[in-house]
């Protein structure tokens, strides 16, 4: 709730039946105790955002706090709640790792063998019920998580049915081998994960140290690059077609808000050649492209090799200059010493992460205080125009409202500006895979977001048991 004095009040309503696994009701006092523990100056806990809470009120089944200004960062608060009746008066730092405090979730810790496995058992005090049947959740009596460090060993265990669920690396060979088990009762899901790869341009003076004939300041050159690369081919040959090309970075955060703005850019070598010539004429000399990324990730190396042929077909002089991770994510990014580059960001559900990602394009967010590695629109940028000025305003407006309708409109405008200016080119979201013996475990639904694959674990049930 936005207040007339410019502050923001957030109120949590706690489910009436919510209680801890020892039967103690979960109340607003648990939230208040959690807040006080986090803000304790003697405890080594990050107080970021929490320190912006200047007043709070706890009652039986409500907790309310007020922040100095509207912020979406409230979405990230109170992801863990401490049971006041069990923790108060204890040595918090000592007990944090080893004490089995009561749980308010569907399971409680039963056994933990370090480095081998962890077993949780049903919380009989769990408040949640199946909305259709009214039956108390969770369905399963226990779940054991096995820690297997070798990917091949874990896959062998799943194949031998010495495990019901696996979340392996989503490579073509692994996915194909798992899909071969579907006729035996396995179900395999491959979805786009939150990690999204993008091609990007450097707008600062450091690009000329990498490539003296760089023309990334010319829109025609950026358009030529967008038309020279074949994103469908990249996905097919690098990722085996496991996912579709990414037409917007927004998809990695809140797909329902995406305009798919980069769908307008399709591979067209003839058009790329024409725009390249236009860029060179405007620059007064032939332009070239130098591509820099990490040399240790196979998919980036493969993509770089594909670029050679793609740019050659468009008649654009091209060179790969790949680097070790430490150099690329160190000196290269901090100094802006690249021409055309590639790396990944990680998306997250909700508005908070989506709003935050726009900070990395903020023309007012110059390094070292800011995070605009691209130097698009910054004081040392080769491109400062109406688009960069408006984007800075949009970014500020995003950070001054919590109204979903306003945020949706601002996100759409920001996406449009970034796409029309070709600041970046989204390539793909890395695939995420999961497999389950569906003839034994039902209710599993893979979730590649930060919520994790156990997001609905209370709804999993045994499909192989004939229960009344």
| Mean pLDDT computed over every residue of the chain | 95
Closest CA to 424 of 277, 216, 204: 216
Q: How many CA atoms lie within 13 A of 345 on its CB side?
A: 26
Please tell me the predicted confidence (pLDDT) of residue 75. Answer: 86
Average pLDDT estimate for 385-400: 96
- Read off the pLDDT of residues 405-415 as tens digits, 9 standing for 90 and up: 999 999 999 99
Which residues touch 180 (CB under 8 Å, ≥6 apart)? none
* Per-residue confidence (pLDDT) for residue 244, from 0 to 100: 96
282 sits in which H/E element = helix 269-283
With b for 16 or more beta-carbon neighbours within 10 A and e for fewer, the 404-425 pattern comes to: eeebeebbbbbbebbbebbbbb
List, for residues 180-197, the tens digit of each pLDDT value.
999 999 999 999 999 999
What does the pLDDT read at residue 97?
A: 83
Q: What does the pLDDT read at residue 13?
A: 97
Over its C-alpha atoms, the chain yields an Rg (Å, rounded) of 26
User: What is the pLDDT confidence band of residue 451, given thresholds at 50, 70 and 90?
Assistant: confident
Pairing of strands 461-462, 441-442: antiparallel
Q: Is 29 exposed, middle or buried (CB count within 10 Å of its CB: 0-12, 13-18, 19+)?
A: middle
pLDDT at 51: 93
Task: Categorize the per-residue pLDDT at 467 as very low, low, confident or very high, splitting at 50, 70 and 90.
Answer: low
Cα gap 147→53, rounded to integer Å: 39
Task: Identify the band that residue 465 occupies on the pLDDT scale cut at 50, 70 and 90.
Answer: confident
* pLDDT number for residue 466: 64
Does 158 have pLDDT greater than 90? yes
pLDDT tier at 468, thresholds 50, 70, 90: very low
Summarised one tens digit per residue, pLDDT across range 28-39 is 999 999 999 999
10-54 per-position pLDDT tens digit: 999 999 999 999 999 999 999 999 999 999 999 999 998 999 999
* High-pLDDT (> 70) share of the chain, %: 99
Q: Is the peptide bond preceding residue 185 cis, with omega within 30 degrees of 0?
A: no
Write the DSSP assignment of 173-194 as a string of letters: HHHHHHHTTGGGTEEEEEEEEE
Cβ distance 258 to 246 under 8 Å? no
Would you say residue 235 has pLDDT above 80? yes
List, for residues 91-113, the tens digit of each pLDDT value.
998 898 888 899 999 999 999 99
pLDDT reported for residue 193: 93
User: Model confidence at 360, in pLDDT bands (50, 70, 90)?
Assistant: very high
pLDDT beyond 80 at 2 = yes
Strands (E), 331-391: 340-346
Beta-carbon contacts of 371 under 8 Å, excluding residues fewer than 6 positions away, are 359, 360, 362, 365
Predicted pLDDT of residue 203: 98
């Amino acid at each position: 709730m936005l207040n007339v004095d410019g502050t923001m009040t957030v109120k949590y309503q706690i489910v009436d039946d919510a209680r801890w696994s020892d039967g103690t009701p979960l109340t607003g006092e648990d939230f208040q105790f959690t807040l006080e523990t986090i803000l304790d100056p003697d405890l080594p806990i990050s107080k970021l955002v929490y320190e912006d809470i200047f007043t709070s009120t706890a009652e039986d089944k409500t907790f309310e706090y007020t922040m100095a200004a509207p912020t979406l960062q409230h979405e990230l608060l109170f992801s863990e709640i401490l049971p006041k009746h069990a923790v108060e008066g204890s040595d918090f730092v000592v007990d944090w790792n080893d004490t089995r405090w009561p749980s308010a979730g569907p399971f409680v810790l039963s056994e933990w063998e370090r480095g081998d496995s962890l077993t949780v058992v049903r919380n009989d005090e769990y408040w949640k019920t199946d909305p259709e049947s009214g039956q108390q959740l969770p369905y399963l009596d226990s779940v054991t998580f096995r820690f297997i460090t070798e990917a091949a060993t874990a896959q062998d265990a799943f194949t031998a049915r010495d495990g019901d669920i696996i979340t392996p690396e989503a490579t073509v060979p692994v996915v194909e081998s798992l899909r071969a088990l579907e006729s035996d009762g396995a179900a395999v899901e491959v979805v786009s994960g939150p990690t999204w790869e993008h091609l990007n341009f450097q707008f600062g003076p450091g690009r000329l140290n990498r490539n003296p004939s760089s023309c990334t300041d010319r829109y025609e050159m950026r358009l030529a690059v967008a038309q020279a690369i074949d994103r469908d081919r990249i996905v097919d040959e690098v990722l085996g077609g496991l996912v579709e090309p990414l037409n917007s970075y927004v998809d990695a955060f809140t797909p329902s808000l995406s305009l798919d703005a980069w769908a307008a850019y399709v591979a067209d070598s003839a058009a790329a050649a024409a725009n390249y010539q236009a860029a060179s004429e405007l620059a007064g000399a032939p332009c070239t492209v130098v591509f820099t990324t990490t040399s240790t990730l196979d998919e980036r190396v493969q993509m770089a090799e594909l670029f050679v042929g793609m740019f050659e077909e468009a008649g654009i002089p091209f060179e790969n200059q790949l680097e070790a991770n430490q150099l690329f994510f160190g000196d290269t990014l901090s100094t802006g010493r690249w021409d055309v580059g590639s790396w990944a960001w990680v998306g997250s559900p909700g508005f908070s992460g989506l709003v935050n990602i726009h900070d990395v394009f903020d023309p007012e967010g110059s390094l070292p205080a800011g995070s605009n590695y691209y130097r698009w629109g910054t004081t040392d940028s080769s491109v400062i125009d109406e688009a960069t000025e408006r984007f800075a305003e949009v970014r500020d407006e995003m950070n001054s409202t919590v109204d979903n309708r306003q945020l949706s409109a601002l996100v759409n405008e920001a996406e449009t500006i970034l796409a029309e200016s070709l600041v970046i080119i989204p390539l793909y979201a890395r695939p995420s895979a999961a497999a389950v013996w569906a003839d034994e475990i039902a209710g599993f639904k893979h979730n590649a977001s930060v919520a994790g694959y156990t997001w609905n674990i209370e709804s999993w049930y045994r499909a192989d048991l004939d229960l009344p």
